[in-house]
Structure 1
Amino acid sequence: MMSEQHYLALDIGGSAVKYGIINQGGEITLKGSYPSPKTNIEDFWQQFEQHLLPLARQHQVSGLAISAPGSVDCDSSVIYGHSALRYLHGPNFRDEFQRRYQLHCEIENDANCAALAELWHSKLVDDFCLLVIGSGVGGSTVINGKVHHGKHLHGAEFGYMFVGIDDDGKPVNISGCAATRSLIQNTAKLLGLQEEQLNGKRVFELAEAGNKGVQAVIDKWYQMLAYGIYNVQYCVDPDRIIIGGAISSRPDLLVRIEEKLDQIFSENPYSSVRPQLSVCEAGNDANLIGALYHYLQRQELKS
């Protein structure tokens, strides 16, 4: 009888590198994190060798699955586009991991990994879109069980969609008005605070404590998010739109969005297709789990 195979999965984020040892069924047996290297690619390799190479050897992993920011070319394993970690853009990760550590690697965009985790663990059979609400708004579209990457690897980059103009007449996109960061920025401006003094949780605490100004900021935030969701529905026409990111754990999230959608549809009587909403079920480990699912798809190991 063959022993169970294990894989090392990485979720490279702007502030932390999360990792996990995962079996072929998607069960995480060990996980942890360390601060993301900020300087250059050599620092990235050094940190990998310090934190993860011994782990990979100890568990005799069969491969390395990576979730990363940016426009990931899964075929070449090169990351294009932009992210907070500029050194990630350019190297061929599959070649580098093979040459340096004799580890086979597959890599995919982080939002796409989150969508693949939903596909795998929630056993979704319908087409769906995923909106990941964080420092920006990321996204993914899954059609017929496959991620739609687009001609230029920008499929489902919903955060770039313009949904209005600001007080200076400049266009505002979804990432600029419906991300958690925008919620923090607008609240900080209202209260005369530095952004570093707030986080998303604190903003909602201020509103729940009765601060009318912060309540208005949050109400506008929900309105803009609902506009974005409406646009996604009418551009892609999926069976379902799933909301991810830390804010998706708020129990009133979908209720507040539905209230704003009620307003939109009452003002637009000719709009007849209402988005069917849900929140991510894979939780904080979605990117790790989805990265492995992507790896198994690429290696044709997924039954």
Structure 2
Amino acid sequence: MVTTTAAAPEGPARPDGWSVGLDVGGTKVQAVLLDADGGVHERRRVPTRRGLVGVVDSSAEAVEAVLHAGGVPAARLRGVGVGLPGVVDPRAGTVENAVNLGITGREPFAALLSHRLAGVQVQLENDLNAAVQGAAHVLDVVEGQPVDDLAFLALGTGLAAGLLLHGDLRRGARRAAGEIGHLIYRPDGLPCPCGQRGCLEQYASGSALDAAWPSPDDRPAPAALFEAAAAGDERAVEVRDAFVRAVVAAIRVLVLSCDPERIVIGGGVSELGGQLLACLVAELDRQAAASPFLATTAMPDRIRLVPPGLPVGAVGAALVFRAPTVGRPDEVGV
């Protein structure tokens, strides 16, 4: 694993093997404490405060909270891994254009957080790249066999994928690998903040469901929609099925471009659980029945959901200190 982080001092050797992983989102920072074997011992979350200083402080508080819960002093940490949205340079320890966090310029996040944590080593990674590593780790534990060829499809505010292909983390020449949410799904369709129209994430994301089916109460829009559809609401069925077709289009893109062994679906919408999986499998089966070619790809057999309540992004971030090399060294920091 490439862990060169010029912005974060390594300090003395830390033989215990403990590490903390953070998944930094727009509303919360999720933290996990992992032992030397990758076992999760504690989980904590704190609200995210926007802006560079706010995000650094929130991240430090999450680290301190999970260490306190586990009774592990910071001196025993091998390091802290952080999954961040935006353009992340793991080698330099910087992040930029994390607009959901209120960070726009190129900022030395690893150095700032390391200083806030009294010199603990900090390694940054893009949040989806961290999540796909966490998903691989979880599948290894759940299914009892290593899976190093998979895509993590995040159905959250946006739509994007992390790619782990034959054990190599694929960032891309300009770190755009997996940005499938900005493929055109419907020409001249809904406007997208990226400047295009008809982008896939305008139809296959949590924010797409928020817009198409505003929840009448405090329930998340996906839960309200699927409940109404199950009750026979014709309009809800129409909206649900359109969403499912768009998500299946994203799955099809991943299979036909990268052919991963597994596709793990996470993000807020994945909390629908079995009802989402059943709809996706039914649509994949329907399309396969009409296409002998698609039938040979066995897409339904590849789909998994993230286990409920397990923060794979934070787990993957913690794994940067013990995972085998992911991505060629020349890809890191390109």
TM over 0.5: yes
Q: Is 1:107 aligned with 2:124?
A: yes
Q: Is 1:164 aligned with 2:186?
A: yes
* Aligned-residue offset at 1:13: 0.5
The one-letter amino acid paired with 1:59 is P
Runs in 1 of length 4+ with deviation above 6 angstroms?
A: 193-197
Output one character per residue of 1:183-233: Cα deviation in whole Å (capped at 9) or x when no partner: 221113xxxx78987532222222223321111100111111112211221
Question: Could you say which residue in structure 2 is the equivalent of 1:220?
Answer: 242
* Aligned-residue offset at 1:10: 1.4
Sequence identity (%): 19
**Residues 174 and 168 (structure 1), Cα distance of their counterparts in 2 relative to 1, 3 Å cut:** closer
**Residues 166 and 299 (structure 1), Cα distance of their counterparts in 2 relative to 1, 3 Å cut:** closer
**Residues 298 and 92 (structure 1), Cα distance of their counterparts in 2 relative to 1, 3 Å cut:** farther
Task: Tell me, yes or no, if the aligned pair for 1:185 and 1:195 is still in contact at 8 Å.
Answer: no
**Residues 173 and 194 (structure 1), Cα distance of their counterparts in 2 relative to 1, 3 Å cut:** farther
Q: How does 1:28-177 map to 2 (within 5 A)?
A: 28-38=40-50, 40-48=51-59, 52-53=63-64, 59-60=73-74, 61-87=77-103, 89-100=105-116, 101-123=118-140, 124-165=146-187, 171-177=197-203
Q: Is 1:292 aligned with 2:318?
A: yes
**Residues 19 and 168 (structure 1), Cα distance of their counterparts in 2 relative to 1, 3 Å cut:** closer
* Aligned-residue offset at 1:171: 3.5
Comparing 99-108 with 57-66, which one deviates more in the overlay?
A: 57-66
Question: Could you say which residue in structure 1 is the equivalent of 2:23?
Answer: 11
Task: Tell me, yes or no, if the aligned pair for 1:130 and 1:242 is still in contact at 8 Å.
Answer: yes
**Residues 75 and 132 (structure 1), Cα distance of their counterparts in 2 relative to 1, 3 Å cut:** same
SS of 1:139's partner is: strand
Q: Unpaired segments of 5 or more residues in structure 1? A: none
Output one character per residue of 1:212-264: Cα deviation in whole Å (capped at 9) or x when no partner: 11111001111111122112211112222222224334213232112222333
Task: Tell me, yes or no, if the aligned pair for 1:119 and 1:145 is still in contact at 8 Å.
Answer: no
Q: Unpaired segments of 5 or more residues in structure 2? A: 1-13, 141-145, 327-334
Task: Tell me, yes or no, if the aligned pair for 2:151 and 2:163 is still in contact at 8 Å.
Answer: yes
The one-letter amino acid paired with 1:41 is L
Task: Tell me, yes or no, if the aligned pair for 1:136 and 1:159 is still in contact at 8 Å.
Answer: yes
Q: Distance in 1 between matches of 2:308 and 2:122?
A: 23
SS of 1:62's partner is: strand
Comparing 13-22 with 213-222, which one deviates more in the overlay?
A: 13-22
Comparing 160-169 with 82-91, which one deviates more in the overlay?
A: 160-169
Q: Distance in 2 between matches of 1:288 and 1:54?
A: 14
Question: Could you say which residue in structure 2 is the equivalent of 1:263?
Answer: 286
Q: Distance in 1 between matches of 2:59 and 2:166?
A: 35
Q: Distance in 2 between matches of 1:48 and 1:125?
A: 30
Task: Tell me, yes or no, if the aligned pair for 1:184 and 1:195 is still in contact at 8 Å.
Answer: no
The one-letter amino acid paired with 2:212 is N
Comparing 226-235 with 252-261, which one deviates more in the overlay?
A: 252-261
Q: Is 1:248 aligned with 2:259?
A: no
Q: Distance in 1 between matches of 2:315 and 2:64?
A: 20
Q: Distance in 1 between matches of 2:219 and 2:269?
A: 18
Higher relative contact order (CA 8 A, sep 6+): 2
Question: Could you say which residue in structure 2 is the equivalent of 1:273?
Answer: 297
Q: Distance in 2 between matches of 1:228 and 1:47?
A: 33
**Residues 128 and 28 (structure 1), Cα distance of their counterparts in 2 relative to 1, 3 Å cut:** closer
Task: Tell me, yes or no, if the aligned pair for 1:122 and 1:281 is still in contact at 8 Å.
Answer: no
Match for residue 187 of structure 1 among 213, 229, 236: 213
Kindly report the root-mean-square deviation, in angstroms, between the aligned alpha carbons of the 2 structures. Answer: 3.0
